Chain A
Amino acid sequence: MVDTTSIKKEEKIEEQSDSTESVVSEIEQSFSLISKTASSFDNRYISKAFRDLGPLRRKLTKSILITIINKLYPSKINTNKSYLFGVLDVVQDDNAMVIDHQEEDNEDTQPSSILIPEVELYVHLLIQVFLLDQNQLESLNILNSNIIQLMKLYNKRSLDFIQAKIWFYIARTNELLEDLYSIRPELLASLRTATLRHDTETTSSIITLLLRNYLLTHDINQASNLVEKTVFPANASNALAARYYYYLARISAIQLDYSTAHEYVIAAIRKAPQTHLANGFIQSATKLSIIIELLTGDIPELKTFKRNQIGGNFEPYFYVTRAVKLGDLNLFSKVLNEYEALFKKDDNFTLVSRLRQNVIKTGIRIISLSYSKISLKDICIKLHLDSEESTEYIVSKAIRDGVIEATINHQKGFMQSKELLDIYSTKLPQTEFDQRINFCLSLRNDSVKSMRYPSDNDNKADLNGKSLDKDEEFDILKALEDGDLDDFMD
Chain B
Amino acid sequence: MPLQKLSEELYKAFDQGDYTQCQKILPPIRIELIKHNLLVPLLNDNTNKNKINDLRISQRILEIGVLSSLLSHNYTNFENYFSQLKPFYLNKKLYHKHELNTDTTKIISLNLLYLLSKGLISKFHIELEIIYNSNQYNIDQDKYLQFPINLERNLMEGNYIKIWKLLNQTTNLPCFEYEHFIDTLIHALRFEISKSIEKTYKFLPINNCKNLLYFPQEQSDSQFEKELLEEFNINNWRFENGNIYFDQIEEDEDLDLDSGNEPIKENPIIKNVLNYSEQIESIV
Contacts and interface: CB of A to CB of B under 8 A. Distances in A.
Interface of A: 218-221, 254-257, 347, 349-350, 354, 356-357, 360, 386-387, 389-390, 392-400, 406-411, 427, 430, 434, 437, 441, 444
Contacts of A387: 161
Contact of B132 (A255, A349, A400): A349
Nearest to B121: A256
Contact of B200 (A256, A257, A386, A400): A400
The secondary-structure label for the interface of chain A is: helix
| Chain B contact residues, majority secondary structure | helix
Contact of A357 (B157, B272, B283): B157
Contact of B125 (A254, A347, A390): A254
Contacts of A408: 200-201
B264 to A, nearest CB: 11
Interface string B239-273: 00000000000000000000000000100110010
B199 A396 contact: yes
B160 A393 contact: yes
B122 interface: yes
28 contacts: A218-B130, A218-B134, A220-B126, A220-B129, A220-B130, A254-B129, A255-B122, A255-B125, A257-B122, A349-B132, A357-B153, A357-B157, A360-B157, A386-B159, A387-B161, A390-B159, A390-B160, A390-B162, A393-B158, A395-B200, A396-B158, A397-B192, A399-B199, A399-B200, A406-B200, A408-B200, A410-B204, A411-B208
B272 A434 contact: yes
A407 B202 contact: yes
A393 B205 contact: no
Given A397-B157, A398-B158, A408-B201, A218 B133 contact: yes
B145 to A, nearest CB: 14
B200 A396 contact: yes
Contacts of A219: 130
Given A220-B129, A386-B162, 4 more contacts: A386-B161, A393-B196, A396-B158, A408-B200
B128 interface: yes
Interface string B178-207: 000000000000001101110111101100
Interface in B100-155: 121-122, 125-126, 128-130, 132-134, 153
Contact of B276 (A360, A396, A441, A444): A441
A396 B197 CA distance: 7
B279 interface: yes
Nearest to A406: B200
A441 B122 contact: no
B156 interface: yes
Contacts of B193: 393
Nearest to A401: B158
A399 B158 CA distance: 11
A393 B272 CA distance: 44
A395 B201 CA distance: 11
Contacts of A394: 157-159
A357 B156 CA distance: 7
Given A399-B196, A399-B199, A437 B121 contact: no
A415 to B, nearest CB: 9
A397 B196 contact: yes
Contacts of B132: 349-350
Given A218-B129, A400-B199, A256 B162 contact: no
B141 to A, nearest CB: 15
B14 to A, nearest CB: 30
Nearest to B44: A182
Nearest to B157: A357
Nearest to B158: A397
B201 A410 contact: yes
Nearest to B204: A410
Contacts of B162: 386, 390
Contacts of B200: 395-396, 399-400, 406-408
Nearest to A349: B132
Contacts of A389: 161
A163 B96 CA distance: 37
A393 B159 contact: yes
A157 to B, nearest CB: 33
Contacts of B196: 393, 396-397, 399-400
Contacts of B156: 354, 357
A255 B126 CA distance: 7
Contacts of A218: 129-130, 133-134
B195 A350 contact: no
Nearest to B160: A393
A187 B269 CA distance: 50
A81 B254 CA distance: 75
A180 to B, nearest CB: 11
Most buried by A among B158, B161, B276, B279: B158
B153 A356 contact: yes
A355 to B, nearest CB: 11
B211 to A, nearest CB: 9
A360 B154 CA distance: 12
3 closest cross-chain pairs (CB), A and B: A397-B158, A396-B200, A396-B196
